Amino acid sequence: MKRSTLITAAMALSVVLTACVTTPASVDRTTVSAAVVQASIGAPRLPTAGESYLDASWFNDPLTVDRSVQTALLNNPRVRAELARLDTAQAEHVQAGLLRNPMASLMALRPEGGGRFELDYSLMQSLFDLMTRSRRIDVADAAQRRVEAEVIGQLIAIAQDTQAAYYETLIAEAKVQVQREQWAIDNQGLRLLQRQASQGAVSAAATLEQQAIASMRAHELQTAEATLAQARAVLAQQLGLSSTVPLVLPDSLPTFAFPGLDAPALQALAATHRPELQAAAATVDQARAEQRLQTGGLRATEPALGPAGIRESGGLALEGLSIQMALPIFDTGRARRDLAAAQIAQAEFTEEALRRQVPLEVERAMATLMAAHIAVGHADHHLYQQQQLERLAQQAYDQGISDRPRYLRASRARLDSVMEQLDAQQARWAALVALERATGSAALAITAPPP
């Protein structure tokens, strides 16, 4: 067997063996699903490949917060777009493990004026590509982990945004009901004053003042209805709907279960489950892997090796090895080294900043939730007092001791307390979602009395 044939066979065998080493693994969505379930209430599932969107019958029942989150994950196209990023990362991972195709060259030469033909040929395989395959796979591994963490973060954000939009919509509906009651009471007071003014019992100024109050209340009602329309639109968008018509919501807010605020446990939960931390760590690994790939003598020269030969029509044949490499004269690789070092420093500092930020976010979310929960307690007590005052005013009016305007003022004060209670509940639900965002987990429904 000729030497050139042996060389070619040896090169082909080495290329095949190298291509079989550390074959990239297929993408596994189990980790993503588990992370989303951990960070979402109700343990929802993600859509499978080729699964259709939800049909209209799904929306016949009133939406709970758990069902809303599940609807968003199954029906929002953004979820499937994020899951498609996993397939993209896997394809890039596979591409990183492939070797470049060998480069073949062929030249047919003939002296000017005629003569024998000369055939020059070669088959070159990049040694840089061959010997740095494991480094490219390391870069792709880190990039795939980063993309996976980013996808988890986006899916969790969709679930938590849906949860927040659900609470906002319920609160907005409750506020509209209260505004309608207030508007009705103010109109009752206006009609009463108009009758009294016609009888000369009150002045026209008092009637005009009540008209202004009724007009202001009508404006507040329109504002509340606009806020409700906006909240329903946001919720429908999170659920992947093109209209708010399919939304069927319950008539009351869900019961709030105060979570057990164990600071060390919540901090450990955040350190384990925050996808931003995982993405930052993967970014550091990717930058270091890029440094190993983009620096060194192989990267500077990018050698290639292969069999080459010359054949003449007269029968002369020359065969042997050919090597090609870049001469690091203009591009010495210093800029690539500096760039890699800067990217590593940027990734490490970003990771450190995030590691310091996460505990602060958990601490702030805990304090905000505690303050909001206490505020709800005060609002509940204030509402109870106003209800008692309204009951006493009604009894006095029924017994003829007091007049109707005093009873209407007590009713207005009670409705104002209801609005304060709704504002406090809204802040508490928002604080709970903020704590889930800070910890990266929804495993907070540990029913326990507040400290």
What's the burial of 449, exposed, middle or buried (CB within 10 Å: 0-12/13-18/19+)? exposed
Enter the pTM of the model. 0.86
CB 430 within 8 A of CB 167: yes
Distance CA 344, CA 286 (A): 9
pLDDT of residue 451: 39
pLDDT of residue 195: 78
SS (H, E, C) the chain: CCHHHHHHHHHHHHHHHHHHCCCCCCCCCHHHHHHHHHHCCCCCCCCCCCCCCCCHHHHHCCCCHHHHHHHHHHHCHHHHHHHHHHHHHHHHHHHHHCCCCCEEEEEEECCCCCCCCEEEEEEEEEHHHHHCHHHHHHHHHHHHHHHHHHHHHHHHHHHHHHHHHHHHHHHHHHHHHHHHHHHHHHHHHHHHHHHHHHCCCCCHHHHHHHHHHHHHHHHHHHHHHHHHHHHHHHHHHHCCCCCCCCCCCCCCCCCCCCCCCCHHHHHHHHHHHCHHHHHHHHHHHHHHHHHHHHCCHHHHHCCEEEEEEEEECCCCEEEEEEEECCCCCCCCCHHHHHHHHHHHHHHHHHHHHHHHHHHHHHHHHHHHHHHHHHHHHHHHHHHHHHHHHHHHHHHHHHCCCCCHHHHHHHHHHHHHHHHHHHHHHHHHHHHHHHHHHHHCCCCCCCCCCCC
pLDDT in tens, the chain (451 residues): 455 555 555 555 555 545 555 455 555 678 888 888 877 787 788 898 888 999 999 999 999 999 999 999 999 999 999 999 999 999 999 999 888 888 899 888 877 766 677 888 888 888 888 889 999 999 999 999 999 999 999 999 999 999 999 999 999 999 999 999 988 888 888 787 777 777 777 777 777 877 888 888 888 899 999 999 999 999 999 999 999 999 999 988 888 888 778 889 999 999 998 999 999 999 999 999 999 999 998 889 999 988 888 888 777 788 888 888 999 999 888 999 999 999 999 999 999 999 999 999 999 999 999 999 999 999 999 999 999 998 998 888 888 787 777 888 888 899 999 999 999 999 999 999 999 999 988 755 433 334 3
Tokens standing for residue 436: 């889930």
Distance CA 65, CA 440 (A): 18
Distance CA 394, CA 409 (A): 11
Distance CA 271, CA 429 (A): 23
Homologous superfamily (CATH) for 258-295+339-451: Outer membrane efflux proteins (OEP) (1.20.1600.10)
pLDDT of residue 154: 93
Distance CA 53, CA 229 (A): 25
Diameter of the chain by CA atoms?
A: 131
Tell the residue number behind the tokens 């609005």, with chain if given.
419
Nearest to 263 by CA among 424, 10, 444, 43: 444
What's the burial of 342, exposed, middle or buried (CB within 10 Å: 0-12/13-18/19+)? exposed
